[in-house]
Chains A and B, each alone.
Chain A
Amino acid sequence: MIAATVNSAEAIGKYLARVQGGLKQFDTATQQEILAEIQGHVAERIEELKEQGSSSPVEDALLALGDPGVLARQFSEVSVQQTASRSFLPWVLLRVAARMAIVGARGFIAFFVGFVGYVTAVAFFVAAFGKLFMPDKFGFWVGPHGIAWGALRNTGGEHELAGASFIYLSLIAAFVTGSATTLLLRWLVRPSGFTSKILSRLR
């Protein structure tokens, strides 16, 4: 009887340790809270299973909770969204938006906004460098075909208006577009708030 109790405690301990192993991104207090909740669940399930006459209540209780690695990963995904809403890194924000896009309209909108915004920022940045090395090809062009910001496509009488200031203006535009996209994306992937309420209606 004592041996069985020790084995049960050991099995539960191993399970919880494996869950904890996948919760590294959480602070200690959150890890402990998650583990306490799971431990409480397992304890009550064991009692239930004993009453139902299970011959291996501990194994059955742990089996019903599923693979500890998968359980930890599900918690981690919640954390990733939380972390992303605090991040300023474009690739972190885009990665989370891409994950969210798989499951709902909110994620799709976030990913679309992020992708378009960052591509535009990069395009401004490339235009600034283009002007630096190929001043005749890049600029703010006005001509019979309309106006264009960037590389010259037509040779039908376009005039370049910005001159050297095109570099500064493009860099400012790249910075403003990139920053605005980052702020908007952080707002969109935030797990709570006004945006979530609006976008939840679109789900």
Chain B
Amino acid sequence: MYIAMESNSNHGDRWEAQLRKGCLDLVILAVLWNERLYGLEILRRLEQIAGLDLAEGTLYPILMRLKQEGLLESTWVEAETGHPRKYYRLTRAGRQRTSKMCESWEEFSQGISRLLMPVKEAAR
């Protein structure tokens, strides 16, 4: 019984991790919608706004990929801290992609919410 419970718990954690992983591109693009940010700022914004505690090492390869896909562009800016910061911002293609992803997310989440309605009602 204990093993089964542990297995279910692991499965739940894995599912949640997969869910978060699937949304990473969207949340990173979305956080850059209004402003240019550098890596650490992106992490802080995600934490503050969405409660997403993204592994720090995961962010930079994703930023690199999104840049290679032409969705982001970057600029090095001298900072008072002594270390230059690499700021990212959305390109035109990035804004278009983010809009599309946002639409897809809306449709998807609304559909899932409808599907989950009986589950929520039963849980009350």
Binding site for B on A (CB under 8 A): 33-34, 36-41, 43-45, 47, 64-67, 70-71, 74-75, 77-78, 81-82, 191-193, 196-197, 200-201
Contacts and interface: CB of A to CB of B under 8 A. Distances in A.
Nearest to A201: B100
A113 B15 CA distance: 30
Interface in B38-75: 38-40, 55-58, 60-61, 64-65, 68-70
Q: Is the interface of A mostly helix, strand, loop or mixed?
A: helix
Across the A-B interface, give the 3 residue pairs with the lowest CB-CB distance, nearest first: A66-B57, A74-B61, A40-B83
A156 to B, nearest CB: 54
B56 A43 contact: no
Nearest to A85: B68
Given A47-B81, A78-B65, A191-B68, 15 more contacts: A37-B60, A40-B83, A40-B84, A41-B56, A43-B83, A44-B81, A45-B56, A66-B55, A67-B57, A75-B60, A191-B65, A197-B97, A200-B100, A200-B101, A201-B104
Interface of B: 38-40, 55-58, 60-61, 64-65, 68-70, 79, 81-86, 93, 97, 100-101, 104
Nearest to A74: B61
B57 A70 contact: yes
A12 to B, nearest CB: 12
23 contacts: A33-B86, A34-B60, A37-B86, A38-B60, A40-B38, A40-B84, A41-B40, A41-B56, A41-B60, A44-B40, A47-B81, A64-B55, A64-B56, A66-B55, A66-B57, A75-B61, A78-B61, A78-B64, A78-B65, A191-B65, A192-B69, A192-B70, A201-B104
Contacts of B70: 191-193
A66 B61 CA distance: 13
A192 B68 contact: yes
B39 A37 contact: yes
Nearest to B71: A192
A39 B83 contact: yes
Contact of A74 (B39, B58, B83): B58
Contacts of A64: 55-57
B69 A196 contact: yes
